[in-house]
Amino acid sequence: MAPEFTSRDPSQPQFWSDRFERKFTPWDRGGVPEAFRTFVAGAARPCATLIPGCGAGHEVALLAAAGWDVTAIDFSPAAVAAARQALGPLADRVQLADFFSFAPSTPPDLIYEQAFLCALPRDRWPAIVERWAHLLTPGGLLAGYFYFDNAEKGPPFGADPGQLRRMLAPHFAQVEDHAVTDSIPIFAGKERWQVWRRLPLADSAR
């Protein structure tokens, strides 16, 4: 049974810190999911990668081992502490930062999405999409796991496929979309692996 929490606003760091501190993290896959492993193994070159809302940051070790320049951020001090502890010598790849104001020292080639969009209420999504588009240079990739569901309450907050497409279309073109076979229960049957390419600025609505 889920513990009782007093923090109810997932757009505030305290909401997530309370859950990390009580080790109630049902969204945490406990490792790196298959589609992302395949994506990294098949990439033509290493990508400077940003992981917003990294939580425990399992992907950091995989990317660092592959020689990729990875920066993982989270605005919850408890999440950052957990990730840094788990990552040991790679702890400095994790920064305490709010995605909406974070200014990376290197522009990312890739933004990895996993349970970040669905962690925030739907009214925050346009701002997330704007930020993805702002941070990625043309040709850059947004890749990861997108959660589809119409339940009003969350997190996780699910998207409607058409809604997601309409939100991303001004800035991104889809290059991959397939089912996920190794979902954990909270996402099972409701998530897809997708890759979106940042459009050239002239093609973008910005």
> Does residue 16 belong to the site contacting ligand SAM (CB under 6 A)?
yes
Q: What is the dihedral of CA 119, 98, 30, 152, to 10 degrees?
A: 0
Residue 144 CB-half CA count within 13 A? 22
78-86: which pairs have CB atoms within 8 A and are 24 or more residues apart? Answer: 78/16, 78/17, 78/18, 78/20, 78/21, 79/16, 79/17, 79/20, 79/54, 79/55, 81/20, 82/20, 82/55, 82/56, 83/54, 83/55, 83/56, 83/57, 86/56, 86/57, 86/58
Segment contacting ligand SAM by CB under 6 A, of 33-41, 49-57, 131-139, 197-205: 49-57
**To the nearest whole angstrom, how small is the minimum distance from the Cβ of residue 29 to ligand SAM?**
6
> Does residue 135 belong to the site contacting ligand SAM (CB under 6 A)?
no
Which x/- pattern, by CB under 6 A, does the window 65-94 give for ligand SAM?
--------xxxx--x---------------
> Does residue 110 belong to the site contacting ligand SAM (CB under 6 A)?
no
> Does residue 132 belong to the site contacting ligand SAM (CB under 6 A)?
no
Query: Among residues 35, 36, 61, 114, which is the contact residue for ligand SAM, using CB under 6 A?
Result: 114
**To the nearest whole angstrom, how small is the minimum distance from the Cβ of residue 129 to ligand SAM?**
14
**To the nearest whole angstrom, how small is the minimum distance from the Cβ of residue 52 to ligand SAM?**
6
The tokens of 60 are what? 């950091």
**To the nearest whole angstrom, how small is the minimum distance from the Cβ of residue 28 to ligand SAM?**
4
> Does residue 33 belong to the site contacting ligand SAM (CB under 6 A)?
no
H-helix or E-strand spanning residue 51: strand 49-52
Query: Among residues 35, 47, 50, 56, which is the contact residue for ligand SAM, using CB under 6 A?
Result: 56
Which residues bind to ligand SAM, rule: CB under 6 A? 16, 27-28, 52-56, 73-76, 79, 98-100, 114-116, 119-120
